[in-house]
């Protein structure tokens, strides 16, 4: 039996306390993957449970119909199962009311953004959802500059905002929840690049009527597997094709800069602050930086899951130093932000044996992630005379990984990185990537000593 309105669930499964049929959609979310369903949608569910109304979510898949095909037969309902060593708890989430697939019906996506009831558009399109220049920097030469049928999130936003302006529907709050430094400012800059090229008057209207708060989001959400769905089905007595699993911990820090009203996300524990940057940097450099180190070092040592890699004493010691000494020493924390306690909590979260968080999942798209996770730490530490041997060792593991001769490399730049290896060889690959004219030169240029340290950590010629 499939999860839905008529399916009976065990008594210990928490259910929405609000009337779903009475909820209009106030949020359009671009990129309705597992993370959004385990994070922002849960906070929205909490807000509506606390009495908020008309904040239901219209989810948009920008590529695949898989999430739509899983959710629509279930009336948008799905479960989030929190897993740790002490047992699992499952909750039914009702915040998602509609799911659209952008390539199938781009007009419906534009209409949802333009609808007067919509007050917030949020995004989790991941790092690779932002168009990039060959050097890895965020690119202003976007495919939606010329208009036409939208290709990216920026095209859908541009068309939706144009319709809002023309209809007098008012501005929006646009919230990026991606792992990018100053993600709100990045979203605003890139969107305004598109708008200025297509309709300068619309760019001015957006500047006057829309806001782009930066955010920091945190929750470990492994990619759901068939084994997860089977286990949850056995527990619930019904099949949930959209089920997600996650750790119990979740965090959302949001810049308090909204164009209009908003859900009471604080009912679920969200924090509203004047400056997100210290929390954002801690997440990117400490948690995400450690995650990537675990992925590449762990895969090289034969591990499959995060909890296995962090149980490896060699890797654990390096990751501890990376977080506590190097990443934490690369920025100034906010008042009351205890980075040492944060690192301790992260190590405990990584060690959670109930979350089979695959290292291969974290290793995906590394070329898009390492600038924020590692290269910014290296640049910041160098500026104050600090060294980062653990980050350099992790970086060497990534360079080894993208050689591509031991395991598949899931990265948009996989072919180009393999070509770098073939042309430069072991002796020249570090300079080809991080030298003065290297692929990442706009983000960080390694010193002679740093290049030597990375090269010394590479695997022997194969």
pLDDT of residue 135: 55
Count the neighbouring beta carbons within 10 Å of the beta carbon of residue 337. Answer: 12
CA 52, distance to chain mean position in Å, is: 26
For 345-356, what is each residue's pLDDT tens digit? 999 999 999 888
pLDDT of residue 137: 59
- Residue-level pLDDT at 223: 87
pLDDT for 85 equals 77
pLDDT score of 446: 97
Model confidence pLDDT, tens digit, residues 114-172 = 999 999 999 998 766 676 665 555 555 567 887 888 888 999 999 999 999 999 999 99
Q: Please choose, from the candidates 274, 318, 261, the residue with its C-alpha nearest in 3D space to the C-alpha of residue 292.
A: 318
For 266-303, what is each residue's pLDDT tens digit?
A: 999 999 999 999 999 999 999 999 999 999 999 999 99
Cα–Cα distances (Å) from 239 to 167, 193, 234, in that order, read 43, 45, 8
pLDDT bracket for residue 437 (50, 70, 90): very high
pLDDT value for 136: 53
Confidence bin at 86 (pLDDT 50/70/90): confident
Contacts of 6 (CB under 8 A, 6+ apart): none
Provide the token pair at 2.
């499939």
DSSP per residue, 266-310? GGGT-EEES--HHHHHHIIIIIIHHHHHHHHHHHHTT--BHHHHH
**Each residue's pLDDT tens digit, 169-184:** 999 999 999 988 899 9
What the block records as the tokens of 62 is: 């920008």
Q: 310 pLDDT band (50/70/90 cuts)? A: very high
Task: With cut-offs at 50, 70 and 90, classify the pLDDT of residue 461.
Answer: confident
Least confident window among 53-62, 209-218, 295-304, 404-413: 404-413
The structure tokens listed for 147 are 């208009």
Indicate the pTM of the whole model: 0.84
Residues 367-393 have pLDDT tens digits of 999 999 999 999 999 999 999 999 999
Element (H, E) at 119: none
Contact 237, 1 (CB under 8 A): yes
Residue with tokens 């019904």: 238
Q: State the pLDDT at residue 179.
A: 83
Rounded to whole angstroms, the Cα distance separating 181 from 372 reads 7
Distances (CA, A) of 332 to 105, 122, 170, 278: 46, 28, 38, 7
pLDDT of res. 153: 92
* Tokens 């333009």 found at: 114
pLDDT bin (cut points 50, 70, 90) of residue 192 is very high
**Cβ-based neighbours of 105, under 8 Å, separated by 6 or more:** none
Can you state the percent helix, strand and coil of the chain, rounding each to 5?
A: 50, 15, 40
Give per-residue burial for 200-212: e unless 16+ CB within 10 Å, then b.
Answer: eebbebbeebbbb
CA dist 174 and 134 (Å) reads 27
Structure tokens, 409? 């490399």
DSSP assignment, residue 10? -
> Is the separation of the CB atoms in 247 and 82 below 8 Å?
yes
Residue 153 has which token pair? Answer: 């999130």
């Amino acid at each position: 039996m499939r999860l839905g309105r008529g399916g009976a669930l065990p008594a210990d499964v928490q259910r929405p306390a609000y009337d779903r049929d009475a909820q209009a959609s106030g949020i359009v979310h671009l990129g309705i993957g597992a993370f959004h369903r385990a994070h922002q949608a849960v906070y929205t569910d909490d807000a509506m449970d606390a009495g908020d109304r008309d904040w239901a979510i219209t989810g948009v898949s920008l590529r695949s119909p898989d999430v739509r095909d899983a959710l629509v037969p279930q009336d948008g309902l799905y479960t989030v199962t929190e897993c740790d060593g002490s047992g699992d708890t499952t909750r039914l989430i009702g915040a998602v009311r509609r799911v659209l697939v952008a390539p199938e019906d781009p007009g419906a996506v534009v209409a949802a953004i333009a609808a007067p009831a919509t007050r917030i558009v949020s995004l989790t399109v991941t790092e690779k959802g932002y168009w990039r220049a060959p050097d890895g920097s965020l690119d202003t030469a976007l495919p939606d500059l010329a208009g036409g049928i939208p290709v990216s999130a920026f095209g859908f936003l541009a068309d939706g905002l144009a319709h809002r302006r023309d209809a007098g529907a008012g501005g929006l709050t646009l919230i990026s929840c991606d792992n990018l430094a100053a993600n709100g400012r990045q979203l605003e800059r890139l969107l305004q690049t598109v708008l200025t090229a297509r309709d300068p008057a619309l760019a001015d209207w957006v500047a006057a009527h829309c806001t782009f708060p930066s955010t920091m989001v945190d929750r470990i959400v492994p990619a759901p597997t068939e084994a997860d769905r089977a286990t949850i089905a056995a527990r619930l007595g019904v099949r949930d094709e959209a089920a997600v699993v996650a750790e119990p911990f979740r965090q959302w820090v949001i810049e308090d800069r909204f164009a209009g009203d908003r859900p009471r996300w604080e009912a679920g524990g969200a924090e509203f602050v004047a400056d997100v940057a210290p929390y954002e940097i801690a997440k990117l450099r400490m948690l995400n930086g450690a995650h990537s180190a675990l992925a590449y070092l762990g895969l090289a040592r034969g591990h499959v899951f995060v909890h296995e890699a962090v149980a490896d004493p060699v890797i654990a010691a390096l990751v501890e130093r990376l977080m506590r000494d190097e990443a934490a020493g690369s920025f100034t924390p906010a008042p009351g932000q205890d980075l040492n306690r944060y690192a301790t909590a992260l190590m405990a979260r990584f060690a959670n044996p109930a979350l089979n968080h695959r290292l291969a999942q974290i290793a995906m798209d590394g070329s898009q992630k390492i600038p924020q996770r590692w290269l910014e730490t290296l640049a910041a530490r160098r500026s104050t005379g600090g060294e980062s041997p653990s980050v350099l060792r992790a970086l060497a593991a990534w360079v080894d990984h993208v050689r591509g001769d031991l395991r598949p490399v899931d990265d948009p730049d996989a072919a180009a990185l393999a070509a770098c290896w073939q042309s430069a060889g072991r002796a020249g690959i570090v300079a080809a990537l991080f030298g003065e004219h290297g692929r990442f030169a706009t983000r960080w240029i390694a010193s002679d000593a740093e290049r030597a340290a990375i090269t010394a950590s590479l695997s022997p010629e194969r």
